[in-house]
Amino acid sequence: MESGGRPSLCQFILLGTTSVVTAALYSVYRQKARVSQELKGAKKVHLGEDLKSILSEAPGKCVPYAVIEGAVRSVKETLNSQFVENCKGVIQRLTLQEHKMVWNRTTHLWNDCSKIIHQRTNTVPFDLVPHEDGVDVAVRVLKPLDSVDLGLETVYEKFHPSIQSFTDVIGHYISGERPKGIQETEEMLKVGATLTGVGELVLDNNSVRLQPPKQGMQYYLNSQDFDSLLQRQESSVRLWKVLALVFGFATCATLFFILRKQYLQRQERLRLKQMQEEFQEHEAQLLSRAKPEDRESLKSACVVCLSSFKSCVFLECGHVCSCTECYRALPEPKKCPICRQAITRVIPLYNS
């Protein structure tokens, strides 16, 4: 605490930081909870022969937020894997990721860092069809790259370590960056894979489309089933709720600590003020009862024992209020009896 009972700058920063973090965590928790509630309210639609009749009877021939599950089937051509034979898909993502060690000047440690230096995603039109044979119905999936969680399978992954000469190593140590290598990854949504789609289901000109929903709802294309997807969202909601509660408690504890310290300091100031008033009153009574020749000696008397003369200058406050014996008898850490400021140095006072 600073003098005067005001909270210190560090305490203000701590309280402000915990408050901002708590507000941010609570905002994320509310958003996650909203998404989870929207998922719970999504209508499950079976991919079967009666799909078109269900949509034709729905208002506007659409279900604003529907869950549908089916197998992936390409409309025309497919995408071939660049590294795996006989691997065909409808979405292909190629990624080059650089890995390196970076020197942290604060912790004096090498930290592992990575960044994507190149990424390309290829897509072709595809449908969701029933797993059963003989059912002539398909759902065209639109804008698959707009989905929140695109369930791609990693079909190829290889790490290419960097080759360095001795001069390269010395240069990297000087610059604070040590390249480790390049990781090459290929991900695909394979033909025939099971996919769960959550979005807007629309019947348009005798064709069924699954597209990103309106009103800010999230669009999902995931390899998990709907129950697993919902369970994962609920686990995320619980995690963010716990984090928000923990930081909220930390904010309340910090505020309580600051207010308690302020209250204790205020009580200490009132107690010291009362002691000073009592001392001044007592000194005035002694001066009024003393003989004229003794009044000067009482003004120079130690404020603790009132018998010896003042013989110490306390620094850094500068008060002259105590004799040497009473100064030595002060409890540790020694504080000035007048202002309660810590005594860093004592200068003897000699009366001539």
Q: What is the pLDDT of residues 312-342, one digit of tens each?
A: 888 888 888 888 888 888 888 888 887 778 8
Compute the average pLDDT of residues 62-83.
91
Q: How confident is residue 176, by pLDDT bands cut at 50, 70 and 90? A: confident
The distance of Cα 198 from the centroid of its chain, to the nearest Å, equals 29
Tell whether 203 and 82 lie within a shared domain: yes
Q: Does pTM top 0.75 for this prediction?
A: no
Tell whether 81 and 151 lie within a shared domain: yes
Tell whether 48 and 78 lie within a shared domain: yes
Report yes or no on 112 lying in a domain.
yes
pLDDT digit string, tens, across residues 187-209: 999 999 999 999 999 998 888 99
Distance CA 142, CA 200 (A): 10
Q: How confident is residue 258, by pLDDT bands cut at 50, 70 and 90? A: confident
Q: Of 195, 224, 253, which marks where a domain is finished?
A: 224
Q: How confident is residue 293, by pLDDT bands cut at 50, 70 and 90? A: low
Q: Of 249, 264, 289, which marks where a domain is finished?
A: 289
Q: Of 272, 289, 306, which marks where a domain is finished?
A: 289
Helix H or strand E encompassing 199: strand 194-204
What's the chain's length in residues? 352
Tell whether 36 and 93 lie within a shared domain: no
pLDDT score recorded for residue 340: 79
HSE-up (13 A, CA, CB side) for residue 58? 20
Q: How confident is residue 143, by pLDDT bands cut at 50, 70 and 90? A: very high
Q: How confident is residue 2, by pLDDT bands cut at 50, 70 and 90? A: very low
What is the radius of gyration, based on Cα positions, of the chain? 38
Report yes or no on 108 lying in a domain.
yes
Helix H or strand E encompassing 348: strand 345-348
Q: How many helices (H) and strands (E) does the chain have?
A: 6, 14
Q: How confident is residue 18, by pLDDT bands cut at 50, 70 and 90? A: confident
Query: Domain limits at 273?
Result: 8-41+225-289
| C-beta separation of 334 from 326 below 8 A | no
Distance CA 16, CA 285 (A): 51
Average of per-residue pLDDT values in the chain? 85
pLDDT at position 79 over 90: yes
Which residues make beta-bridge pairs with 204? 207
Report yes or no on 22 lying in a domain.
yes
Tell whether 174 and 260 lie within a shared domain: no
**Angle, helix 226-289 to helix 9-40, in steps of 10 degrees:** 150
Render the burial of 10-21: b for 16+ CB within 10 Å, e for the rest. ebeebbeebbeb
Tell whether 50 and 173 lie within a shared domain: yes
Tell whether 102 and 63 lie within a shared domain: yes
pLDDT at position 93 over 60: yes
Q: Count the domains in the chain.
A: 3
Tell whether 49 and 156 lie within a shared domain: yes
Compute the average pLDDT of residues 235-242.
93
pLDDT digit string, tens, across residues 144-166: 999 987 879 999 999 999 888 88
Tell whether 214 and 313 lie within a shared domain: no
Tell whether 67 and 180 lie within a shared domain: yes
Tell whether 127 and 193 lie within a shared domain: yes
pLDDT at position 7 over 70: no
HSE-up (13 A, CA, CB side) for residue 274? 6
Of 67-81, 135-149, 165-179, the range with the lowest mean pLDDT is: 165-179
| Long-range CB contact pairs, 40-48, < 8 A, 24+ | 40/230, 41/65, 42/66, 42/67, 42/198, 43/67, 44/68, 44/226, 45/201, 47/128, 47/129, 47/130, 47/135, 47/137, 47/139, 48/130, 48/135, 48/137
Tell whether 285 and 343 lie within a shared domain: no
Report yes or no on 2 lying in a domain.
no
Report yes or no on 1 lying in a domain.
no
Task: For residue 293, give both structure tokens.
Answer: 């020749």
Report yes or no on 14 lying in a domain.
yes
Compute the average pLDDT of residues 295-308.
70
Pick from 9, 35, 4: which is nearest to 215 by CA? 35
C-alpha torsion 120→126→127→131, nearest 10: -80
